[in-house]
Structure 1
Amino acid sequence: MRLGKSARVTLAIATVAILVVVYIPLFVVLVNSFSTSTSLSWPPPGFTLEWWVKAFQSQGAVAAVATSVQVAIAATLISLVLGTLLSLALQRFDFFGRSAVNLLVILPIALPGIITGIALNNFFRTIMGIPLSIWTVIIAHATFCIVTVFNNAIARLRRTGTNLEEASADLGAGVWTTFRLVTFPQLRSALLAGALLAFALSFDEIIVTTFTAGSGVTTLPIFILNNMFRPNQAPIVSVIAVVMVVISIVPIYIAQRLSGSEQTKR
Structure 2
Amino acid sequence: MRLGRTARLVLAAVTGIILVVIYVPLGVVLVNSFSTSASLTWPPPGFTLDWWVRAFESAGAREAVLTSVQVAIIATVISLVLGTLISIALQRFDFFGRDAISLLIILPIALPGIITGIALNNFFRTIMGIPLSIWTVVIAHATFCIVTVFNNVIARLRRTGTSLEEASADLGAGLWTTFRLVTFPQLRSALLAGGLLAFALSFDEIIVTTFTAGSGVTTLPIFILNNMFRPNQAPVVSVIAVVLVIVSIVPIYLAQRLSGSEQTRR
Q: Following the alignment from structure 1 to structure 2, what is the Cα–Cα distance between the partners of residues 5 and 189?
A: 40
List aligned pairs for 1:26-65, cutoff 5 A: 26-65=26-65
Q: Following the alignment from structure 2 to structure 1, what is the Cα–Cα distance between the partners of residues 104 and 115?
A: 15
C-alpha displacement of 1:60: 0.1
Tell me the residue number matched to 1:145.
145
1:140-198 superposed Cα distances (whole Å, 9 cap, x missing partner):
00000000000000000000011111111111111111100110000000000000000
Tell me the residue number matched to 1:83.
83
Question: SS where residue 239 of structure 1 aligns?
Answer: helix
Q: Following the alignment from structure 2 to structure 1, what is the Cα–Cα distance between the partners of residues 252 and 132?
A: 30
Tell me the residue number matched to 1:258.
258
Question: SS where residue 73 of structure 1 aligns?
Answer: helix
Q: Which moved more, 1:99-108 or 1:5-14?
A: 5-14
List aligned pairs for 1:201-240, cutoff 5 A: 201-240=201-240
Q: Following the alignment from structure 1 to structure 2, what is the Cα–Cα distance between the partners of residues 153 and 33?
A: 39
C-alpha displacement of 1:12: 1.1
C-alpha displacement of 1:80: 0.2
Kindly provide the amino acid, as one letter, of the partner of residue 65 in structure 1.
Answer: V
List aligned pairs for 1:55-204, cutoff 5 A: 55-204=55-204
C-alpha displacement of 1:14: 1.1
Q: Following the alignment from structure 1 to structure 2, what is the Cα–Cα distance between the partners of residues 108 and 40?
A: 37
Kindly provide the amino acid, as one letter, of the partner of residue 200 in structure 1.
Answer: A
Q: Following the alignment from structure 1 to structure 2, what is the Cα–Cα distance between the partners of residues 9 and 213?
A: 48
Structure 1 regions of 5+ residues with no counterpart? none
Q: Following the alignment from structure 2 to structure 1, what is the Cα–Cα distance between the partners of residues 79 and 217?
A: 21
C-alpha displacement of 1:11: 1.1
Q: How many residues align?
A: 266
Q: Following the alignment from structure 1 to structure 2, what is the Cα–Cα distance between the partners of residues 89 and 5?
A: 49
C-alpha displacement of 1:40: 1.3
C-alpha displacement of 1:6: 1.7
- 1:19 equivalenced with 2:19 (yes/no): yes
1:184-218 superposed Cα distances (whole Å, 9 cap, x missing partner):
00000000000000000000000000000000000
Runs of 4+ aligned structure 1 residues displaced above 6 Å come to none
Identity of aligned residues (%): 85
Q: Following the alignment from structure 1 to structure 2, what is the Cα–Cα distance between the partners of residues 21 and 112?
A: 23
Q: Following the alignment from structure 2 to structure 1, what is the Cα–Cα distance between the partners of residues 194 and 9?
A: 35
Kindly provide the amino acid, as one letter, of the partner of residue 233 in structure 1.
Answer: Q
Tell me the residue number matched to 2:4.
4
Q: Which moved more, 1:114-123 or 1:4-13?
A: 4-13
Kindly provide the amino acid, as one letter, of the partner of residue 144 in structure 1.
Answer: F
Q: Following the alignment from structure 2 to structure 1, what is the Cα–Cα distance between the partners of residues 39 and 160?
A: 55
Structure 2 regions of 5+ residues with no counterpart? none
Question: SS where residue 257 of structure 1 aligns?
Answer: helix
TM-score, normalised via structure 2 length: 0.99
Question: SS where residue 187 of structure 2 aligns?
Answer: helix
Question: SS where residue 221 of structure 1 aligns?
Answer: helix
Q: Following the alignment from structure 2 to structure 1, what is the Cα–Cα distance between the partners of residues 164 and 11?
A: 44
Q: Which moved more, 1:225-234 or 1:7-16?
A: 7-16
C-alpha displacement of 1:41: 1.1
Q: Following the alignment from structure 2 to structure 1, what is the Cα–Cα distance between the partners of residues 170 and 4?
A: 54
Q: Following the alignment from structure 1 to structure 2, what is the Cα–Cα distance between the partners of residues 171 and 40?
A: 68
TM-score, normalised via structure 1 length: 0.99
Question: SS where residue 46 of structure 1 aligns?
Answer: coil
Q: Following the alignment from structure 2 to structure 1, what is the Cα–Cα distance between the partners of residues 204 and 230?
A: 21
C-alpha displacement of 1:2: 1.8
Kindly provide the amino acid, as one letter, of the partner of residue 236 in structure 1.
Answer: V
